[in-house]
Structure 1
Amino acid sequence: MTVGALPEPLTQLRQRGVTVVPHGIRLSLGGAEDVDQHRVAHLARCAEVLDAPLVSEHIAFVRAGGTEAGHLLPVPRTRDALDVLVDNVLLAQAQLPVPLALEPIAALFEWPEDEMDEATFLTELLDRTGAWLLLDVANVYANATNRAAASGALLARLPLERIAYVHVAGGAERGGLYHDTHTDAVPPEVLDLLSELSALHHSPAVLLERDSHYPPEAQLRAELDAVAHAAACHRSPARCPFDEPGGARRAPGRAGRRPGDRW
């Protein structure tokens, strides 16, 4: 997107009062090199043009030594890798006008030298940076399935109090692995996990990711209804803090925020 003139669909969404959150995929926060300040500046400008309450990016790296991977790659869960990731997140936060939420990815493999489990790694990352958590429930399910672990147990150990908002998406099993495709319907297991999350934490907003292979409108509406029903289980309807008057939209996004701080 060339910042300055919004595409018409985004303009229409903003005119209707719909919150639009820029979602990055190429900052490579987990890479060994310093984060690209030009990419951060572009994300910051997107947030300003869209009047976004926050921006989000993945806990991953996408390039190394000048080579682009073309995919989100998992960060080794080591002390050294965590230090690099923290430094890059702080560099990005210093340039962003709004808070930053970080999304753990659906990883098809783990590094053999991992020193921490995902929950421990993620909790320390958020504590040291003050960043928020973009929790993709479908990613939790994918990782649990591919690691032969219980998804509910993985979910319960995550720092849920840091959730900014939630993603759900569809996927499919291929070659013995579950892939987070964003092109298939959300499976019942992911909806069940979303319901489990709603019992554990009052999430402010849930977003369905669908990148292509869009179904007919009636089918998509039914899927959205199923997501809304799962998210509403165990709790009363919630207000999204992004849209609270005087709240999320005008709060700064610098480093140093801690659990319990409000936007």
Structure 2
Amino acid sequence: MAAEPPALGVGIGWRPEIDLTVERLPGVDFVEVIAENVNPARLPESLRVLRARGVPVIPHGVGLGIGGAESPDPRRLAHLAACARALDAPLVSEHLAFVRAGGMEAGHLLPVPRTRAALSVVAENVRRAQEALPVPLALENVAALFGWPEDEMTEAAFLGELVEMTGVGLLIDVANLYTNQVNLGLSATAALDGLPLSELAYVHVAGGHSHQGVWHDTHTAHVPQDVLDILSELCARVDPPGVLLEWDDDYPSDGALEGELDRIRGAMARV
């Protein structure tokens, strides 16, 4: 990233279903909001309250499709930019993922083929996005259900070269690293060793469920200890600017969410 990322602390994903919970949870240093669910001209009252308190709010996109062969949709980029301005956001984040082609939606955040040809396309898409956004962009690694047979490099190597080519920041989801470790046999520790963590913007942590030997990153359960262990491994390598808990459905009590944030702080402090 062109500038050093801001110090964010420990945060939680803001969702309309838990807006009042997020407002009253102690120790929430920043929040993240799904950009596609926000109208920048009519921000939810809860987000305005948090901003008035000085809590940073990061727009997090899920539909830009920066990993696709087509250039990013100017309308989607304009929406992300408007969200960033309305929220006075320190940065914007999105996924390094393929989501559509020829007007057809995949319905999932699909992995990008890690080839030299794909890297060139993605780098150009990133540059276009950076030009359209008023704040720095950070890209998130995804949880992959499969790997492309033509892959020429690891995800860490692909992201490393992309960062070198574009200066884009990284949003590292340690739950996704765990998912790929369980489902695809890809070592999370090896990924951390290969990633350019000096360009880390912040970190995602989340829970999920195992079904018939496959780990599903559902964001609807307590964070497994194995995911917190990967967070500790990351913190042993770099001091993350921020760590954020994602919880997207089947919301627990306020006390349970507060306990999850405390577990995250504990994992960070273990190093």
Give the TM-score category using the shorter length. 0.7 to 0.9
Superposed displacement of residue 149, structure 1? 3.6
1:94 matches 2:131: yes
Unaligned runs of 5+ in 1: 235-263
Superposed displacement of residue 176, structure 1? 2.3
1:70 matches 2:107: yes
Equivalent in the alignment of 2:203: 166
1:190 matches 2:223: no
1:28 partner SS:
coil
Pick from 155, 162, 184 the counterpart of residue 147 of structure 1: 184
1:71-93 C-alpha deviation (Å, 9 max, x unpaired): 11110001111111111110010
RMSD: 1.0
Superposed displacement of residue 208, structure 1? 0.2
2:95 partner SS:
strand
Superposed displacement of residue 3, structure 1? 1.6
Equivalent in the alignment of 2:216: 179
Sequence identity, in percent?
59
**TM-score when normalising by structure 1:** 0.87
After the TM superposition, which residues 218-237 of structure 1 pair with which residues of structure 2 at under 5 Å, given as runs? 218-234=255-271
Superposed displacement of residue 155, structure 1? 1.7
Equivalent in the alignment of 2:47: 10
Question: 2 CA distance for matches of 1:151 and 1:87?
Answer: 28
Equivalent in the alignment of 1:60: 97
Question: 1 CA distance for matches of 2:211 and 2:195?
Answer: 27
Equivalent in the alignment of 1:26: 63
Unaligned runs of 5+ in 2: 1-37
1:2-43 C-alpha deviation (Å, 9 max, x unpaired): 221211111111112111000001110011111101100110
**Amino acid of the structure 2 residue aligned with 1:62:** V
Question: 2 CA distance for matches of 1:35 and 1:150?
Answer: 31
Question: 2 CA distance for matches of 1:171 and 1:156?
Answer: 24
**Amino acid of the structure 2 residue aligned with 1:110:** G
Superposed displacement of residue 233, structure 1? 2.5
Question: 2 CA distance for matches of 1:220 and 1:52?
Answer: 24
**TM-score when normalising by structure 2:** 0.84
1:126 matches 2:178: no
Superposed displacement of residue 127, structure 1? 0.7
Q: Which structure has the highest strand share of the two?
A: 2
